[in-house]
Structure 1
Amino acid sequence: MLKSKKFVAVACIILTLAVCIIGCNKKKKSRRSTLPDSSIYSSENFTDIMLDSTLVNNFFGSFSAEDTVKQEVKEFYARRAYQSAWFNKNGMNHAAQNFYSQLKNYEYDFADSSLRNVEMDNLLASAENDEKDFMKRNVEVQRLELLLTTTFFNYAIKAYGGITKNPLDLEWFIPRKKKNYQSLLDSLVSLDKGEKVREPVNQYYIRLKDKLRIYRNIEKKGGWPKIITAKKQLAVGDRDSSILLAKQNLFLTGDFKLRDTSMTFTDSLKSAVMRFQRRMGLKDNGSIDVATLKEMNQPVEYRIKQIMLNMERLRWVPEELEKDHLLINVPEYILHVFENGKQVWAMNVVVGKTASQTTIFKGNLSQLVLNPYWNIPPSIIRNEILPQLKRGTGYLSRNNMEVLSGNKVIDPSSVDWGAYSKNVPYTIRQRPGRNNSLGKMKFLFPNSFNIYLHDTPSKGHFADSKRAFSHGCIRLSDPKKLALYLLRNNAEWTPDKVDELLKTDNEKFIKISPPLAVYIVYFTAWVDSKGEINFRNDLYGLDAKLSAEIFGQ
């Protein structure tokens, strides 16, 4: 009997162990995704205040949130093993106040109160008023904990993710990277007092946000005065009551540094006007002409909207661009060359007309072509060349062009051009030479838009303040400078060798290694390397299109 009891006891122990092992394995399998991430958290990160999964799930029964936000919150606490992010046994940590300040700044900067939560405000005030007493009220501590975390993800998605509409529908073809809000909150809750909150945005966004706050302050104080004058131009030496308004206007924008209440157009005012004109992309002649007056009279609310629209675009741009890259801002008509993260030089460019817009995308410049052929796009053949050919083929010889059937050059007079109205089954190209529409060089970065950089025999437009004249490709004011820059580390292609080849009409492809990133962007408001905010007109109407998505107008 004793042996039998002993056997039963041993069997029970074995059975219990087996059940535990099976149960543990099942539990381990089902909770795999909820284990803390050891690459981010260590035992030192954990606090002594715990939540549980039921509490987190039940919270969303009384607090409405998008499914994506719910998922972020649940994942965040699962990775922390359900330990508090905002509290420890001593009270609320510095991260809570850091985030709350960040939230209030966002509300002010963007005039957006949609993230405001009265319950969270009251609980935070209570915690700050008597922290020891508040910490005794466990239900309120847990409630505030979850309100802070949920509000953070709502804020992060809105402030850093931007609108959900596909940028491709807004003519923006630069790939948009998904942001890691989990990592962002990890870093926020681990900050010590006084440490700066990291934002998952690029430097251009941060610079523009600083200017947004300045313009908000101007708006709160009533904006700047509108300048009313019957004169078509105000210049040095003129006296007019509108000149005083101009001084007040430019003082508020930071262009005019003096508190001058006279009605005389001074040399100091001329300098201020020139600075303003440069920021607007106007000819800096120093006089208040019609174009300058129009820009000065744009209300502060208009400028704020421009800033916000471009901050939205900057949310789509990677946090870090390649250290070496080219950046062409279409509304600015400028190509910027960056090396080791800093701009080293820039040049004027001509971009596509409104009817043949330059596409916004990213590519990798991989080839330089000296003495290029110009393979004429089908749209230009159809709309511009075909009507000429129907009157005779002399147009081709006058423009140094040839016709190809496949890879074979053929006699253009053997083709019945009158038989075609839309699709022409031949290739037409312009031979290399100084009158070639691509000039003496082009720069290739493979893309589906057939966009590239190139020289041009027509140099007249580069001094214009508005330079949208091309069929979509980008003309360079100093292509040789860019070519030599790209070849500066290529011992084979010295400046002398490049010059020798350019004297001929022999086409030559040169590989650029490593390829150089090229960003073609569309910003109508940005802060330049000197810290000055620039504005440009909405060349292609893309601001208006984006505004309809953001502001509904």
Structure 2
Amino acid sequence: MLKIRNAVVFLGLVLLVIVSLGGCKKGKKFRRGALQDSTVYSTKNFTDILLDSSVVNAFFSGFAVKDTIREEVNEFYARRNYQSAWFSKKGMNHAALNFHNQLKNYAYDFADTSFQNHELDMLIDDAENDEKGFLSRTKDVQRLELLMTTTFFEYAEKVYGGIAKNPLDLEWFIPRKKKDYQLLLDSLVSVNKGEHVKEPVNEYYIRLKDKLRIYRNIERQGGLPRIVTNKNLLVKGNIDSSLLAVKQSLYLTGDFSIKDTSRIFTDSLVNAVASFQQRMGLKATGKIDAPTLKELNRPIEYRIRQIMLNMERLRWVPVELEKNHLLVNIPEYMLHVFENGKQVWTMNVVVGKTASQTSIFKGNMSQIVLNPYWNIPQSIVRNEILPQLKRGTSYLTRNNMEVLSGNKVIDPSSVNWNSFTKSVPYAFRQKPGRSNSLGKMKFLFPNSFNIYLHDTPSKGLFGASNRAFSHGCIRLSDPKKLALYLLRSNAEWNETKVDEVLKTDKETGIKLKPPMPVYIVYFTAWVDTAGKINFRNDLYGLDEKLAGEIFGE
């Protein structure tokens, strides 16, 4: 009996030691298990060219890189059991040449030489021109192997992850998803000739990169011509020598499809100017006025800079957006509605003024409110309403507003408003009605910025080219259209019922199921669904701020 008891005690101690040892492993750990993706790592993918950890460590002893890059390289080879990624017994694989070309294309498109490496280029040439001889030089094979892998992780971190490390400092509050460069390299080194590895960027980035290449070529060919005229307005039928430069510029940018060397403002030029104006967010009149001339005279370097800044922003955007979502682009003053991954319609919007900027973030629209109260922010109470109240409370009556202490409506004449200078210990709201600042409906997607979409009684502003007039929230030119679209699958809320409620002044909430994702973004350059590149002015100065991060300006 004693022996059995002792054996049990001993077994318990052994188990305790095992558990304790397991629990103590709180140091550095692998982020992923070996052979992560069975579609990439199968027997046929392995090579008979090997390295080991001492080779990797020796390489880094004479090749300085950031710790994060070194960790990525070490992890990559540990997961492969230190088998070569870029070589087999037959020689260098197609992936090595593909990636080397990718580096060259990047240097060409972005005018960025940060990944150019003379040693890597020489070794690639040697390996390509003398495969058998190169394979016999073990140290050169290992050197090129590790140069390629290290360069890949440096390239991926910059090109796919972005240069600006903290977009929050740049007013960008849309969450970023971490990209798996290990899996990307797994896929890259496993391709056969002619296969394509999908880059971890969204389609908007790819479209903009194609346009960058076009604009780089224009730059290399001498850029865009300067347009000089002493006329304030050029219209159809005018004859002016400056129209030669206008036609050349619009031909280079794709707005003008014919080579016309006349000095006459033709019908074709009217259409080309209107196309250009549309891409710039100007009224498409087909006439060359001062704002149009200003945009025509932007140097090609200015446009390239805009493209690159917005490509940086697009690196922060999820690779795949939800199939159904709403997107508001602040500098464009436009709401885009996407269904099943396709844009189905757009709507003009008004956004925040420079002094009360609309925030950049993602939310989920969960409710439509018909006949809403407007709960007035304290900043507006302090800066706009309080000065009026010090002259008398008739301002509240004229604007259909009321004052609350807690949840109770109080008589504003019972308060000495002159005693307040900064904060006011009361809540203010505007009652539902046609004159309500939110109009007859608002669309809620909970967020910490207190921003939402809403109707407005001030309809005249939607025709302006510059539509930054609000206190931060987003005004819709046709809110009923959006409401009916969002409720299209809700049998209870058809157009007739919505209209019945809107005829009243009773606040009524309608829940959206499922919630609709809403992206509030800031792009001053993008490619639209027609394949045309658009540019807008830097409304909030965020391009300048971002340029300081990525260009050191």
Q: How does 1:19-38 map onto structure 2 within 5 Å? A: 33=30, 36-38=34-36
Please say if residues 164 and 550 of structure 2, whose CA atoms lie closer than 8 Å, have aligned partners that are also in contact.
no
The 1:233–1:31 alpha-carbon spacing in structure 2 relative to 1, beyond 3 Å, is: closer
Kindly indicate whether residue 78 of structure 2 is the aligned counterpart of residue 78 of structure 1: yes
Kindly indicate whether residue 505 of structure 2 is the aligned counterpart of residue 513 of structure 1: no
Q: Please give the secondary structure, in 2, of the residue aligned with 1:44.
A: helix
Please say if residues 442 and 452 of structure 1, whose CA atoms lie closer than 8 Å, have aligned partners that are also in contact.
yes
Q: Which amino acid aligns with 1:333?
A: Y
Q: Distance in 2 between matches of 1:133 and 1:237?
A: 71
Greater Cα offset, 328-337 or 45-54: 45-54
Query: How much does 1:137 deviate?
Result: 1.1
- Deviations 1:276-298 (CA, angstroms, capped at 9, x unpaired): 00000000000111000000000
Query: How much does 1:37 deviate?
Result: 2.0
Kindly indicate whether residue 242 of structure 2 is the aligned counterpart of residue 242 of structure 1: yes
For 2:290, the equivalent position in structure 1 comes to 290
Query: How much does 1:265 deviate?
Result: 0.5
- Deviations 1:58-113 (CA, angstroms, capped at 9, x unpaired): 11011111111000000000111111100111011110011011111111111000
Query: How much does 1:135 deviate?
Result: 1.1
Q: How does 1:442-521 map onto structure 2 within 5 Å? A: 442-521=442-521
For 2:15, the equivalent position in structure 1 comes to none
- Deviations 1:231-286 (CA, angstroms, capped at 9, x unpaired): 01111101111001100010000100001111101000010000000000000000
For 2:37, the equivalent position in structure 1 comes to 39
Q: Which amino acid aligns with 1:181?
A: Y
Q: Distance in 2 between matches of 1:479 and 1:428?
A: 24
Q: How does 1:232-271 map onto structure 2 within 5 Å? A: 232-271=232-271
Q: Distance in 2 between matches of 1:164 and 1:228?
A: 38
Q: How many residues align?
A: 528
Query: How much does 1:35 deviate?
Result: 6.3
For 1:344, the equivalent position in structure 2 comes to 344
For 2:207, the equivalent position in structure 1 comes to 207
Q: Please give the secondary structure, in 2, of the residue aligned with 1:481.
A: helix
Q: Which amino acid aligns with 2:35?
A: D
For 1:153, the equivalent position in structure 2 comes to 153
Greater Cα offset, 219-228 or 175-184: 175-184
Q: Distance in 2 between matches of 1:194 and 1:216?
A: 27
Query: How much does 1:397 deviate?
Result: 0.6
Q: Distance in 1 between matches of 2:253 and 2:450?
A: 41
- Deviations 1:331-363 (CA, angstroms, capped at 9, x unpaired): 000000001111000000000001110001100
Identity of aligned residues (%): 73
For 1:168, the equivalent position in structure 2 comes to 168
Q: Which amino acid aligns with 1:353?
A: K
For 2:69, the equivalent position in structure 1 comes to 69
Greater Cα offset, 225-234 or 161-170: 161-170
Query: How much does 1:552 deviate?
Result: 1.7
The 1:540–1:32 alpha-carbon spacing in structure 2 relative to 1, beyond 3 Å, is: closer
Q: Distance in 2 between matches of 1:31 and 1:247?
A: 63
For 1:52, the equivalent position in structure 2 comes to 52
Q: Distance in 1 between matches of 2:459 and 2:28?
A: 67
What CA RMSD, in Å, does the superposition of the two structures yield over aligned residues? 1.5
Q: Please give the secondary structure, in 2, of the residue aligned with 1:384.
A: helix
For 2:387, the equivalent position in structure 1 comes to 387
Q: Which amino acid aligns with 1:123?
A: L
Q: Under a length normalisation based on structure 2, what TM-score does the superposition of the two structures give?
A: 0.94
Query: How much does 1:38 deviate?
Result: 4.8
Q: Please give the secondary structure, in 2, of the residue aligned with 1:161.
A: coil
Please say if residues 438 and 454 of structure 1, whose CA atoms lie closer than 8 Å, have aligned partners that are also in contact.
yes
Q: Distance in 1 between matches of 2:167 and 2:424?
A: 34
For 2:12, the equivalent position in structure 1 comes to none
For 1:4, the equivalent position in structure 2 comes to none
For 1:220, the equivalent position in structure 2 comes to 220
Q: Which amino acid aligns with 1:411?
A: D
Q: Distance in 1 between matches of 2:276 and 2:58?
A: 56
Q: Distance in 2 between matches of 1:198 and 1:99?
A: 13
Please say if residues 164 and 549 of structure 2, whose CA atoms lie closer than 8 Å, have aligned partners that are also in contact.
no
Uncovered stretches (5+) of structure 1, i.e. residues with no partner: 1-21
For 1:535, the equivalent position in structure 2 comes to 535
Q: Which amino acid aligns with 1:297?
A: N
The 1:291–1:83 alpha-carbon spacing in structure 2 relative to 1, beyond 3 Å, is: same
Q: Distance in 2 between matches of 1:305 and 1:245?
A: 22
Please say if residues 454 and 474 of structure 2, whose CA atoms lie closer than 8 Å, have aligned partners that are also in contact.
yes
- Deviations 1:426-460 (CA, angstroms, capped at 9, x unpaired): 01100000110000000000001010000000000
Query: How much does 1:36 deviate?
Result: 2.5
Q: Distance in 1 between matches of 2:131 and 2:198?
A: 27
Q: Which amino acid aligns with 1:397?
A: T
For 1:132, the equivalent position in structure 2 comes to 132
For 1:367, the equivalent position in structure 2 comes to 367
For 1:109, the equivalent position in structure 2 comes to 109
Uncovered stretches (5+) of structure 2, i.e. residues with no partner: 1-17
Q: Distance in 1 between matches of 2:289 and 2:500?
A: 47
Q: Distance in 2 between matches of 1:251 and 1:283?
A: 20
Q: Please give the secondary structure, in 2, of the residue aligned with 1:336.
A: strand
Q: Distance in 1 between matches of 2:344 and 2:48?
A: 52
Kindly indicate whether residue 181 of structure 2 is the aligned counterpart of residue 181 of structure 1: yes
Q: Distance in 2 between matches of 1:36 and 1:170?
A: 37
The 1:372–1:32 alpha-carbon spacing in structure 2 relative to 1, beyond 3 Å, is: closer
Query: How much does 1:539 deviate?
Result: 0.2
For 2:416, the equivalent position in structure 1 comes to 416
Q: Distance in 1 between matches of 2:547 and 2:164?
A: 14
Q: How does 1:316-327 map onto structure 2 within 5 Å? A: 316-327=316-327
Please say if residues 98 and 197 of structure 1, whose CA atoms lie closer than 8 Å, have aligned partners that are also in contact.
no
Please say if residues 35 and 81 of structure 1, whose CA atoms lie closer than 8 Å, have aligned partners that are also in contact.
no
For 2:400, the equivalent position in structure 1 comes to 400
Please say if residues 330 and 358 of structure 1, whose CA atoms lie closer than 8 Å, have aligned partners that are also in contact.
yes
Q: Under a length normalisation based on structure 1, what TM-score does the superposition of the two structures give?
A: 0.94
Greater Cα offset, 41-50 or 216-225: 41-50
- Deviations 1:363-395 (CA, angstroms, capped at 9, x unpaired): 000000000000000000000000000111000
Q: Please give the secondary structure, in 1, of the residue aligned with 2:418.
A: helix
